[in-house]
Structure 1
Amino acid sequence: MTDTLLTPGAHLFQAVEAALAGGCRWVQYRDKSGDHERRAREAQQLLDLCEQAGARLIINDDLALALRVEAHGVHLGQGDGDPAEARRLLGPTAILGVTCHDSLPLARQAVVNGASYVAFGRFFPSRTKPEASPAPLSLLREARAALPNTPLVAIGGITLDNAHTLIAAGADTLAVSHSLFGADAIEARARTFTTLFNQHSST
């Protein structure tokens, strides 16, 4: 997940390119500014980088931007639009993610509305989402049992020290911002996160 403070200006593309080289296969473009034209230019360039690497670009909280640049999908918070309408506009094959905070009922409804994946969190103290309600690890296990065919994404304060607990609890994907894009060596950090998943799948 990109962050305008961690990846300002041209550093955004250098950082994402390094993450892709390290094995990242989903990039979520997150920019809350009101500069629509700059955001469109950045999203288009990120889309090009992702497609060259065989990765997917997800636009955070902006369905109109996702449609404009023909991104691979969009991620919606609870107050960022109707997932069912987003699914209708994006079509059946686009990626549609929905933040469900600490609520399994919200996740069930998101799936009914066409979500490709559901995201829970924050699981740990987060600088990106400090106001988000904390979610227990048990929620991932409950969601895995209740939604066996839906990918689960964990959000919030994820680091190399705690990532393995989320993977073990059932997370299919980790949404990482500061621990990745704030690293001195982004490619190496992305590769280490990728290795955690490979190690877990082989056990």
Structure 2
Amino acid sequence: MPERLRGLYAITDTALQQGRLLVSTEAALLGGARIVQYRDKSADHARRHDEAGALRQLCHRHGALFLVNDDVALAHAVRADGVHLGQGDATLRVARAQLGAQAVIGITCHDSLALAQAAADGGADYLAFGAMFASTSKPQARTCPLPVLAEARRRFALPLVAIGGITPDNAGQVAAAGADALAVIAALWQAADIHAAAAALARTYSPAMSSTT
């Protein structure tokens, strides 16, 4: 599993991808995204189920992991590879009981090594830190200094995911501090060329990757 939790981690955004969710996500996958998280906070359960199911199929065609944000029941219903949980969501224990031992479960740790330790002790599959930089997607999010990420790398053997304000210009700093994967929203879906933006971010971990991947 750890080798699959590496590289570009695309998080969907209903507003930024409106009307082109599958097309834009496929462009990111073709550009090198290895993980996709479906994030939609709306109450339209039927649409969310349909979109999540379609994204799962798309991701698996491209050999990528497909995760669902927050919603353990939806992840189970569409047979997602796993779920990402925030600190206010379902507990890791509940998610593991419903999704099984093989599910990928990631936990938001913000800038807290104590939260990371609790998640690791509880059986999380990856630890997510951020916002690493000012984020247009979550402007109120507190930032996580790069030294905190570096300390997490020293303490934990689990894959580390970094999120928040990550662009091709600063991705190298985050990877150098110890991130195994870069979770990105705005730098992908606001790009004029999503494929090219994904390729630029993916090259952080695969420098030899062609921009025409």
TM-score by length of 1: 0.95
Q: What SS is found at the alignment partner of 1:89?
A: helix
> In the alignment, what sits opposite 1:6?
16
Q: Which residue of 1 aligns with 2:140?
A: 131
Higher helix share: 1
DSSP 3-state at the match of 1:99: strand
Aligned with 1:25: secondary structure? Answer: strand
Q: Per-residue deviation at 1:84?
A: 1.6
Equivalent position of 1:84 in the other structure: 93
* Matching residue of 1:25: 34
5+ residue gaps in structure 2? 1-10, 209-213
Q: Look up the equivalent residue of 2:168 and give its one-letter code.
A: L
Can you give the 5+ residue segments of structure 1 that lack an aligned partner in the other structure? none
Pairing of 1:2-81 with structure 2 (within 5 A): 2-9=12-19, 11-81=20-90
**Deviation of residue 128 (structure 1)?**
1.4
CA distance in 2 between counterparts of 1:189 and 1:48 reads: 23
| Distance (Å, rounded) in 2 between the aligned partners of 1:4 and 1:127 | 15
The aligned counterpart of 1:144 is 153
Give the paired residue count.
198
Partner of 2:108: 99
RMSD over aligned Cα, in angstroms?
A: 1.1
Q: Which has the higher strand share?
A: 2
Amino acid at match of 1:30: R
TM-score (norm 2): 0.90
Q: Give % identity.
A: 53
Is 1:182–2:190 an aligned residue pair? yes
